[in-house]
């Protein structure tokens, strides 16, 4: 990872949760891939249906929000 990227990440971690979410939203919006909002909504609806079916069939392991945050934080720290 480039020094500039590491610096930005370190600064981002100093922001409030609300501000970090805003930064994430802006970065994601900057990755325009030409899809329409409607097609993205349809893709998400299908993904939600698929995941719901997996959960109902107990064919996938679920995690609590605390577990997800810890895993994400650990992975990010590993790469910084």
Q: What is the pLDDT along the chain (80 residues), one digit of tens a residue?
A: 789 999 999 999 999 999 999 999 889 888 877 788 888 899 999 999 999 999 999 999 999 999 999 999 999 988 76
Let me know if 49 is exposed, middle or buried by CB neighbors in 10 A (0-12, 13-18, 19+). exposed
What pLDDT, on the 0 to 100 scale, is given for residue 33? 78
Global pTM? 0.45
What distance in Å separates the CA atoms of residue 42 and residue 5, rounded to the nearest whole number?
Answer: 33
What pLDDT, on the 0 to 100 scale, is given for residue 69? 96
Q: Over the stretch 43-64, which tens digit does the pLDDT of each residue have?
A: 999 999 999 999 999 999 999 9
């Amino acid at each position: 990872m480039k020094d500039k990227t590491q610096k930005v990440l370190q600064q981002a971690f100093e922001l409030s949760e609300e501000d970090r979410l805003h930064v994430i939203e802006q970065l994601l919006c900057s990755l325009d891939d030409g899809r329409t909002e409607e097609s993205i909504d349809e893709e998400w609806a299908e993904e939600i249906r698929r995941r719901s079916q997996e959960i109902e069939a107990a064919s996938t392991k679920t995690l609590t929000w605390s577990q997800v945050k810890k895993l994400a934080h650990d992975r990010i720290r590993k790469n910084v």
